[in-house]
Structure 1
Amino acid sequence: MARITRRELMNLLGAFGVVATLCGLAFGLPAIDRALPAERPVSAEQRYAVGAGVTVVPPVGATLDVTGTRPGDSSGTVLFRLGAVQYKIAVRPFDGDVQTAAAGLRQRITGNPGYQVTGAQLQVDTAGGLSGIQGGYTAPGRGGRYAVFVTDGLTIEVTISGVDLDLGRTLPQIEASTRTLRYDGGAR
């Protein structure tokens, strides 16, 4: 019968330790992730940094959905929720005018099966001096609004979607929040 040397035993124990650590990471981290809520409360009294120097004051009662939020230096996305209504702001580098940015957003919206842009586009301005274009869209069982702003090599896209009843109830708060959008000239 072969004898196991001390060195072989230590190697075997080390291998078991590595396997145990990997199992802990593979099963433990997802369990911890599932235990943490995806939505976090945000203050409607403080500006929230979306990314690239763009900030917004969230609507009263909104929560931040961390699964759809990615702040950054040159771009960023934030996803707020007011009940079942989603309020998303995306900022990214852009070389063009507001008409081109609005056409691109409308094309992405209508690229989804069943989505249609509705009504006329209107000019929208923020208290922070941004001028843009806003419009509406429909989808199966949902309605939505969008707005696009272009400033200093960036596009700021706002999309709002929800069931008509919920959307109608929360839209005034979301529109008030959108009017607080501001570009402070962040580092890109």
Structure 2
Amino acid sequence: MARITRRELMNLLGTFGVVAALAGLAFGLPAVDRALSAERPLQAGVAVDVGAGVTVVPPPGATLDVTGTRPGDSMGSVFFRIGAVQYRIAVRPFEGDLETAAAQLRQRITGNRGYQVASAQLAVDTADGLAGLQGGYTAPGRGGRYAVFVGDRRTIEILISGNDLDLGRTLPQIEASTRTLRIDGTAK
């Protein structure tokens, strides 16, 4: 019978150590990730940076979902949750007019399987006088609203979705939040 040398024993223990460390990373990190919420509380009444110099005051009770929030110098996005309702804002460089921006957003909405624009577009303005268009859409198991604004060579797109009951309950607060949109800087 062969004897295991001290060196072989140390190599075997080292191998088990590496396997244990890899297993800890493979199973431990995803468990920690699932345990940490992607939602962050917000301070009431304080504007949030969407990106490209655009800010918005979120609705009361909203949380910031970091999985869809990416502010940047020339473009950006922010993702809020109000209960089960999702409220997303995206800003990016744009050289066209408001009608073109609205048509492009409607086309992207209806490009998703089962999504349909459900109502006529209506004019909407922010408190600072930024003109926009808004409308509604339906999706499988959800309803939604959209709005688009164009200003300072940027388009600001808003998508709101949720089930009809939750959406109806939170829409007034979201509309009030939308009116707080501001373009504070120049596009880069």
Give TM class, smaller chain: 0.7 to 0.9
The 3 A distance-change label for structure 1 pair 11 and 54 is farther
1:155 partnered with 2:155: yes
> 2:17 aligned with 1:34, yes or no?
no
Contact between 1:73 and 1:186, CA under 8 Å: does it hold in 2?
A: no
Q: Classify the secondary structure of the residue corresponding to 1:120.
A: coil
Over the aligned positions, Cα root-mean-square deviation in angstroms equals: 2.3
How far has the Cα of 1:17 moved from its partner?
Answer: 6.6
Q: Which residue of 2 aligns with 1:70?
A: 70
Distance 1:95 1:12, change over 3 A: farther
Aligned residue for 1:170, secondary structure, equals helix
- Alpha-carbon spacing, 1:160–1:9, altered in 2? closer, same or farther (3 Å): same
Mean Cα deviation higher: 170-179 or 136-145: 136-145
Deviation, 1:5, is: 10
Compute the displacement of 1:24 (Å): 4.1
Per the TM alignment, residue 114 of structure 1 is displaced from its structure 2 partner at its CA by: 1.9
Question: Which residue is equivalent to 2:95?
Answer: 95
TM-score (normalised: structure 2): 0.86
Aligned counterparts of 1:167 and 1:119: Cα–Cα separation in 2: 16
Distance 1:161 1:80 in 2: 11
Match of 1:134 in 2: 134
User: In 2, distance between residues paired with 1:157 and 1:117?
Assistant: 15
Residue 31 (structure 1) shift: 2.1
Shift, 1:184, TM fit: 0.7
1:153, distance to aligned residue in structure 2 (A)? 2.0
Q: 1:60 is matched by which residue type in structure 2?
A: P
Aligned to 1:59: 59
Q: Partners of 2:110 and 2:48 in 1: how far apart?
A: 29
Given that residues 152 and 186 in structure 2 are in contact (C-alpha distance below 8 angstroms), is that contact kept between their aligned partners in structure 1? no
Q: C-alpha separation between the residues in 1 aligned to 2:9 and 2:101?
A: 65
Gaps of 5+ in 1: none
- Report the Cα distance in structure 2 between the residues aligned to 1:176 and 1:5, rounded to whole angstroms: 73
Is there any run of 5+ residues in structure 2 with no aligned partner, and where?
none
User: Does structure 2 conserve the Cα–Cα contact (< 8 Å) formed by 1:101 and 1:155?
Assistant: yes
1:137-177 deviation digits (Å, cap 9, x = unpaired):
11233211110011222110001111111111110000000
Contact 1:43 1:58 in 2 (8 A): no
- Deviation readout 1:83-116 (Å, 9 max, x if unpaired): 1111110111222111111101101111112211
Q: Give the whole-Å Cα distance in 1 for the aligned partners of 2:183 and 2:18.
A: 49
- The equivalent of 1:125 in structure 2 is 125
